[in-house]
């Protein structure tokens, strides 16, 4: 049962155990609610017999006992459903985030950011509400109803049958609508993701939209997506309500059948008035919670979609490996590497080269040639499809990604900064670094030039993703992180793309001090950036077109590298 609950509702083993306790608590609470019926039955019988007057103390004592019997299971139910659910919900969100941290980047290439955010936040919240308000209540009510119905059949099977027959039919109607409801909820989820994407895109591109006078057209399209979400939501509600209301109407017929059958048995003398009255009370107690339970069942049908989205994350194979990593040096060796993002698009074919420790290896070539993919594979952001990559002779596919990345300092072309001070943004490179170490790294990256001009210097908060800084200033903070980490392998992906010529010269001078006895892999389009590299690897159409020193490649008359250098020299002389 625990395994079923874990898979059905994306629970941990502890969460499934707590869910079983919650179901038992709801069952006990529902059965306890039947004790007043017994008290009323006993009192009515005594009253009709004329013996009730002398038994008031007994009734008061029994009423107090009923209150205790109802109170205790409800306290247990509250603790088991709400408190345990909130603990489980926290664990679920953390476990999803932890799993995302261990997944290869290929997973994120297939998923949308708004979709993943919706899974961790909205889907987890939906499941949290269901775990506290619907799942235990449904199963607990179902179990308690079955137990009560069995007792009724032992007492008077004709009346029991008259009372019970609508329940399985009503449950079947709602359960059979599962696929229909899932269809509606999937359409609703997809429309919400499209809307979230559009809103996020509008916020990020509002400057460009305004500059192109395209804001009104975009907002009109956004209004259409908002209307679509509204229509899908109404459709989902109607799709669910049609089945639930129909099932609840079936339950209402049960009271009528109890009255008809009871009247017939009463006329035949096979049932007395008190028994007839009791069955009417019990039937009302059965149908009222069951009517709400049909709504719970409908909500459980809708849980399939968010649970599937969460299971898609948890079931995805994580990148794993050994944490014991002691390479023999830090040479990066590509051996006949092939890579595809999917079955149809091959990005790299038979790529073989070595980036040696103590040297700068530059990856150049036309856009789309595979340069960035090579650098990502070197850090095991993806796993290769063919061949292998080694660092210091060890296959990186056998090394835990976090352990592997401890020997890498990476500067991406697209810098990600946090809404914090410059000092703390640089400290991301080494969380336990002292202020003196952070400032030393900042000076190496030439951050003093802009940081000391700010009102609070390095303690200045730079806004969301460094919105208060220029592109070059943001890039230098990213480079400072790499200096601070001081790892033996450095990956630079267009690290100087946002810098002017003067700052690029300063950064290159700093890099020359940093790279001593380290492995440096540089991606660049500017030939000036890689002119001092020890080795050039030219990638074109996913293969290595040529490799060698800048001097040797420039000396070859028909080399790709020479042609690129000539084109950039010519472009520098262009004028408007």
528 vs 134, residue with greater confidence: 134
User: Would the pLDDT of 389 be above 90?
Assistant: yes
CA–CA distance, 358 with 518 (Å, rounded to integer): 4
Domains of the chain: 2-314 (1.20.1560.10), 332-572 (3.40.50.300)
- Please give the pLDDT value at position 353: 93
User: What is the model's pTM?
Assistant: 0.67
Characterize 210-233 residue by residue with b for buried, 16 or more Cβ atoms within 10 angstroms of its Cβ, and e for exposed. eeeeeeeebeeeeeebeebbeebb
Residues sharing a CB contact under 8 Å with residue 139, sequence separation 6 or more, in sequence order: 23, 26
Q: How far is CA 438 from the centre of its chain?
A: 33
Tokens 């995302």 correspond to what residue?
100
User: Would the pLDDT of 576 be above 70?
Assistant: no
Average pLDDT, the chain: 81
For the segment 258-270, the average pLDDT, to the nearest whole number, is: 83
For the segment 73-93, the average pLDDT, to the nearest whole number, is: 81
Question: 23-53 pLDDT, tens per residue?
Answer: 888 888 877 877 776 777 677 766 666 666 6
CA–CA distance, 165 with 414 (Å, rounded to integer): 65
User: Would the pLDDT of 370 be above 90?
Assistant: no
User: Would the pLDDT of 281 be above 90?
Assistant: no
Question: 394-433 pLDDT, tens per residue?
Answer: 999 999 988 998 899 888 777 888 888 999 999 988 888 9
Phi, psi dihedral angles at 514 (to 5 degrees): -75, -35
CB-CB contact of 320 with 339 (8 Å): no
| Confidence class for position 489, pLDDT limits 50, 70, 90 | very high
- Please give the pLDDT value at position 46: 67
236 vs 351, residue with greater confidence: 351
CA–CA distance, 7 with 389 (Å, rounded to integer): 37
User: Would the pLDDT of 228 be above 80?
Assistant: yes
Question: 341-351 pLDDT, tens per residue?
Answer: 766 678 899 99
Instruction: At 279, list the tokens.
Output: 């069955």
DSSP at 318: P
User: Would the pLDDT of 574 be above 60?
Assistant: no
CB-CB contact of 533 with 492 (8 Å): no
User: Would the pLDDT of 84 be above 70?
Assistant: yes
């Amino acid at each position: 049962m625990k395994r079923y609950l874990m898979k059905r509702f994306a629970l941990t083993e502890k969460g499934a155990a707590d869910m079983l306790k919650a179901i038992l608590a709801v069952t006990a609470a529902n059965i306890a609610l039947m004790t007043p019926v017994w008290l009323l039955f006993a009192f009515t019988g005594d009253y009709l017999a004329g013996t009730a007057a002398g038994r008031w103390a007994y009734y008061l004592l029994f009423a107090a006992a009923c209150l205790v019997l109802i109170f205790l299971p409800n306290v247990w139910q509250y603790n088991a459903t709400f408190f345990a659910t909130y603990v489980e919900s926290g664990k679920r969100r953390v476990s999803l985030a932890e799993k995302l941290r261990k997944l290869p980047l290929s997973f994120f290439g297939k998923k949308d950011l708004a979709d993943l955010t919706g899974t961790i936040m909205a889907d987890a919240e939906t499941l949290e509400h269901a775990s506290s308000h619907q799942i235990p209540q449904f199963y607990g009510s179902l179990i308690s109803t079955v137990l009560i119905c069995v007792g009724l059949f032992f007492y008077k099977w004709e009346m029991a049958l008259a009372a019970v027959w609508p329940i399985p039919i009503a449950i079947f109607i709602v359960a059979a609508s599962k696929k229909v409801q899932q269809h509606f909820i999937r359409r609703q989820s997809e429309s919400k993701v499209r809307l979230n994407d559009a809103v996020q895109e509008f916020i990020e591109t509002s400057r460009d939209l305004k500059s192109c006078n395209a804001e009104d057209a975009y907002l009109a399209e956004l209004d259409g997506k908002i209307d679509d979400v509204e229509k899908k939501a109404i459709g989902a509600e109607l799709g669910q309500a049609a089945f639930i209301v129909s099932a609840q109407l079936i339950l209402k017929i049960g009271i009528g059948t109890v009255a008809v059958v009871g009247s017939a048995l009463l006329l035949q003398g096979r049932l007395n008035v008190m028994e007839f009255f009791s069955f009417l009370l019990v039937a009302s107690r059965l149908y009222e919670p069951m009517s709400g339970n049909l709504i719970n069942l409908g909500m459980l049908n809708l849980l399939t979609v968010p649970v599937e989205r969460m299971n898609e994350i948890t079931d995805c194979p994580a990148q794993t490996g050994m944490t014991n990593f002691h390479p023999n040096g830090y040479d990066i060796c590509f051996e006949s590497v092939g890579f595809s993002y999917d079955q149809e698009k091959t990005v790299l074919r038979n790529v073989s080269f070595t980036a040696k420790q103590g040297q700068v290896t530059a990856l150049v070539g036309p856009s789309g040639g595979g340069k960035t993919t090579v650098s990502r594979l070197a850090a095991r952001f993806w796993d290769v499809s063919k061949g292998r990559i080694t660092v210091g002779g060890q296959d990186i596919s056998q090394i835990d990604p976090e352990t592997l990345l401890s020997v890498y300092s990476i500067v991406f072309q697209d810098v990600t900064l946090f809404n914090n001070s410059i000092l703390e943004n640089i400290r991301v490179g080494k969380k336990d670094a002292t202020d003196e170490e952070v400032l030393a790294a900042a000076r190496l990256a030439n951050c003093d030039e802009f940081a000391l001009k700010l009102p609070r210097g390095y303690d200045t908060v730079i806004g969301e993703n460094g919105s208060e800084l220029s592109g070059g200033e943001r890039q230098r903070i990213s480079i400072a992180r790499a200096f601070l980490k001081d790892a033996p392998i450095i990956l630079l992906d267009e690290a100087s793309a946002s810098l002017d010529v003067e700052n690029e010269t300063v950064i290159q001078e700093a890099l020359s001090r940093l790279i001593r006895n380290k492995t440096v892999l540089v991606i660049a389009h500017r030939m000036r950036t890689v002119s001092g590299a020890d080795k050039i690897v030219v990638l074109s159409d996913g293969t290595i077109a040529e490799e060698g020193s800048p001097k040797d490649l420039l000396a070859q008359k028909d080399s790709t590298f020479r042609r690129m250098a000539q084109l950039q020299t010519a472009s520098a002389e262009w004028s408007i």
